[in-house]
Every structure is written in C-alpha cells, then in structure tokens.
C-alpha cells in the first residue's frame, strides 16, 4: 500500500477529530463565557484554531492531492468526490464561517452564535464523510 493513503487517513482523521471537538465542545461553550470576557475569548479561540489549522489543513490538502495522483486502484468518483467535499468545506469556511467569527469578535451575539452552532453541523458531517472516504480508500488499496 502506498504511504500517501495512510498519511491522508491520518490527516483527514485529525481534521474529523478537530471539527468534532469544535462542534461538540468549543462552540457550545461560547455561550457560557461571561459577556465582559467574550471578546478576549473569541480572539484566543481564533488564534488557537488558526495555529492548529496551519498544520492540519495543509497536511490534509497535500495528502488529498497526492492520493488523487497515485490512486489508480481507487474509483475516480471516490477521490474526486472527497476532493470536492474538501473544496466545499473550505469555501464555506471562508465565505460563511469566518465572517460569523468576525462578527463575534466584537462581542457575543446570540443569533450569530446560534447560526454558527446549528450550521456547523454541515461542516462536521462533511468532514466525517471525508473520513469515511479516506477509510474506504485505504480499504481499496490494502
């Protein structure tokens, strides 16, 4: 088996774990932060999330591209579909989720927070689907 598939599974699995942690712990706990400390909390959240993503996101992207290049035994729909999901996740992150965090950076807004928590299930599901696709790719090439 090509090592790119294992690396891709590890990188995607790390992103799945990360988004689950954000969805199930970080985002819901925002509502419990006292109002006078929320701006500092959101600033720290953004800084720390960015630091984690600065490592995990490129690892996932590089391994996804490598897998697509070497995936002769994997059905094209699987690698291309997983790649399309990744593109969709990052477009949504930049176009929708980053602006929500931008609005929260000036103070807690219950409506913005609710939209963040409720709609982020889409990204959580999409990354989980990518994790399943990475497992399927490893199974095909094993």
Task: Give the tens place of pLDDT for each residue, 20-79.
Answer: 999 999 999 999 999 999 999 999 999 999 999 999 999 999 999 999 998 888 999 999
**What is the value of pTM for the model shown?**
0.94
> What size, in residues, is the chain?
142
| d(C-alpha 95, C-alpha 8), whole Å | 25
Residues 6+ apart with CB under 8 A from 112: 100, 103, 104
Residue 63, token pair as written in the block: 């391994």
Q: Is the predicted pLDDT of residue 1 greater than 70, yes or no? A: no
CA angle, 113 then 116 then 119, to 5°: 140
pLDDT per residue as tens digits for the range 123-137:
999 999 999 999 999
Q: How confident is the model at residue 89 (pLDDT cuts 50, 70, 90)?
A: very high
């Amino acid at each position: 088996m090509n090592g790119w598939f294992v690396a891709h599974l590890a990188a995607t699995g790390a992103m799945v774990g990360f988004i689950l942690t954000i969805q199930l712990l970080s985002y819901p706990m925002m509502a419990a932060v006292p109002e006078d400390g929320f701006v500092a909390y959101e600033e720290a959240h953004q800084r720390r999330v960015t630091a984690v993503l600065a490592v995990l996101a490129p690892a996932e992207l590089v391994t996804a591209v490598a897998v697509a290049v070497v995936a002769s035994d994997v059905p094209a729909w699987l690698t291309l579909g997983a790649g399309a999901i990744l593109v969709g996740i990052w477009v949504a992150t930049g176009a929708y989720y980053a602006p929500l965090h931008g609005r929260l950076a000036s103070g807690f807004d219950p409506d913005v927070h609710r939209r963040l928590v409720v709609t982020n299930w889409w990204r959580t599901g999409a990354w989980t689907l990518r994790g399943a696709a990475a497992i399927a790719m490893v199974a095909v090439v094993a």
